[in-house]
A and B are shown apart, each in its own frame.
Chain A
C-alpha cells in the first residue's frame, strides 16, 4: 500500500483510540514509519536498476513483515503499551492486500505469499480504502468537535 493509505489509517486509529503524547509517536512510527526500510533498499535498487522506474522491484524487508512481531511484542511488553503491535498489525494487514510477493517469516522460513484478496486489482482496493478512510477520518474528526 502507499504511504498515504498507511497515514490515513494510522490517523484514524489515533483519533479513534484517543491517543496522546508518546503513544501518537509510536503509532505513526509503527503504522507509517516502518516504511523507512525502503531507504535501505534504495542503494540496491540503484545498483540493480539504475535511475529508471522499474515496477515490481522487491522493496520489502523484515521490518514490515509479520516476523518483526518477534521484536515488536517484547518491545511492547517493555514499554507497557499495545500501540506499536496494534499499528504494526494494521500496517501489514494493508500491505498484504497488495498482490506483490512477500516473505512473512524470512529468515526463519522461505515461505512466499501474495497476501489476501489477490483477485481484486490492487488499484481498486487502494482506491476504495482511501475513500473509506478519508470519510471515516472526517466523520470522526467532526463528531469529536
Chain B
C-alpha cells in the first residue's frame, strides 16, 4: 500500500510543484494564507449544501481540498514548515469539516446525532494523530460518496472508521510506551511512573 501511495505521490508532486512555485514566487502567498483560503472556500461549500444544492456544494468543497493540499507542499518546498503552521492547518481543517458536517445535518441529509458523533470521532483521531501517525484521512473525501451511497451511510462510515482508528492509535502509543518501560527495566513495580517521568522530561527538553 505504501509503495502504491508513494508511486502516486511522485507524479502528483511533480504536477503540483509548478503551481506551488507560482503561488509563492509570483503571487507572494504564504502557506498560512493558503490554509486560510482553503478553510474559507471549504466552509463556503456549506451554503449550497444547506440550500439542497449538494453537487454544487461538493464542487466547492473539492476546490477547498485542492487548496488544502497545496499549503503543506508549499511549506516543505520553501522550508517554511512549522509546528504552528501544522496546528493552524489542523484547527482550520477540523473547523471546515465541523461546518460542512453541520450543513448536512441542517439540510436534513443526516441526523444531528450521526453527524455529531462522526465529528467527535474525527476530533478524537486528531487529538493523537500526530503522535500515533494514524489518521485514515477519510473526512471531507468521504462526502463525495454521499450522492451515491446516501449521507447517513457516509457519516456512519466516518464514525466507525475514525473510532477504530482512534482505538488503534491509542494501542500504538501504548506499545511505544511499553517499549520505553521495557528499555528502562529495573523495579517493575515502579516502571510506569519512571517511564512517564522520562517521557515528560523528554517532551520538556523539546
> A interface vs B, CB < 8 Å?
37, 40-41, 44, 47-48, 54-58, 61-63, 67-68, 70-71, 74-75, 77-78, 100-103, 106-108, 110-112
Shortest B185–chain A CB gap in Å is 8
- Ordered by A's residue number, 12 sampled pairs between the chains whose C-beta atoms are within 8 Å are A40-B175, A44-B178, A54-B188, A63-B171, A78-B159, A106-B196, A108-B127, A110-B196, A110-B197, A110-B199, A110-B200, A112-B193
Q: A47-B182, A112-B196 are in contact. Are A58 and B167 (CB under 8 A)?
A: no
A41 touches B178 (CB 8 A): yes
**A48 to B178, alpha carbons, bound, how many Å?**
10
Q: Is the CB of B167 within 8 A of A71?
A: yes
Q: Is the CB of A107 within 8 A of B131?
A: yes
Least Cβ–Cβ distance between B113 and chain A, in angstroms: 7
Partner of A100, one of B117, B189, B199: B189
* Cα distance A58–B90 in the bound complex, in angstroms: 34
Residues 168 to 206 of chain B near chain A (Cβ within 8 Å): 170-171, 173-175, 177-179, 181-182, 185, 187-193, 196-197, 199-200
Known contacts: A77-B113, A107-B170. The answer to whether A101 contacts B182 by CB under 8 A is no
CA distance A67 to B177 in the complex (A): 15
Q: Are A112 and B192 in contact (CB under 8 A)?
A: yes
A32 and B149 CA atoms in complex are apart in Å by 36
